[in-house]
Amino acid sequence: MFKKITTLITCGAIAFSLTACESQEKTTAEATTPKQEETKPSQKEINESFKKEAVKGDFVEFNSDNPPTDKKVFFEGKIDKLLSAVEKELKTSDYFMLKTEENGGIGVFKVLNADIDNTNKEHFKEGDTVRVYGKFMEKDALTGMPTIASPLIERVQ
């Protein structure tokens, strides 16, 4: 009887150890199998696509009670005021005031700069004429001004 119990325990231990070895082999095999990488578009491709889809924005439309939130637009104007207390050049994640001239009137937007590439190359300053691509973000709580989130800013000559 003791011999049978010992044999069963030994067989169980061997079976368990073989199962454990097999699962490690599968894990190792899965880890070494190269997975197909998802190809994500480059920032340049994203910017080009955004530029193609964007339409000229209208200050009156964006200053209304129900501004379009999913519309890709662009505005041309001058950087009127940098809202960074210490910088003289626009930095990523800074806000600035964009002054536009449309239909004989003047529009002023608050713009969130999310453009990393051009900001580092162009060194935008107050008074620069720029084209801002973006989407409506919100109305500024203090001024009521439309705020645009801009992933792409270009200097206009």
Whether residues 145 and 79 fall in one domain: yes
Could you tell me how many helices (H) and strands (E) the chain has, helices first?
Answer: 4, 6
Q: What is the pLDDT of residue 10?
A: 61
Whether residues 89 and 129 fall in one domain: yes
Q: What is the mean pLDDT of the chain?
A: 79
The pTM of the full predicted model, rounded to 2 decimals, is 0.68
Whether residues 19 and 56 fall in one domain: no
Q: What is the pLDDT of residue 76?
A: 95
Whether residues 67 and 5 fall in one domain: no
Whether residues 30 and 47 fall in one domain: no
Residues 77-105: tens digit of each pLDDT: 999 888 875 666 677 778 889 999 988 88
Whether residues 54 and 96 fall in one domain: yes
Q: What is the pLDDT of residue 70?
A: 86
Residues 11-54: tens digit of each pLDDT: 555 655 655 555 555 555 555 555 666 788 887 888 889 899 99
Give the chain's domain count. Answer: 2
Q: Looking at residues 60-65, what average pLDDT do you find? A: 89
- Please, which residues bridge with residue 109 across strands? 98
Look at 75 and 86; give whichever has higher pLDDT. Answer: 75
Whether residues 102 and 148 fall in one domain: yes
Whether residues 102 and 119 fall in one domain: yes
- What lies within 8 Å, CB to CB, of 126 at 6+ separation is 79, 80, 81, 82, 88
107 touches 57 (CB < 8 A) = no
Residue 77 belongs to what domain range? 43-155
Which CATH number covers residue 113?
A: 2.40.50.500
Band of residue 122 on the pLDDT scale cut at 50, 70, 90 = confident
Whether residues 56 and 118 fall in one domain: yes
Question: Which regions of the chain does DSSP assign to beta strands (E)?
Answer: 55-56, 73-82, 95-102, 105-113, 129-139, 146-155
Whether residues 132 and 80 fall in one domain: yes
CA–CA gap between residue 149 and residue 132 (Å, rounded): 9
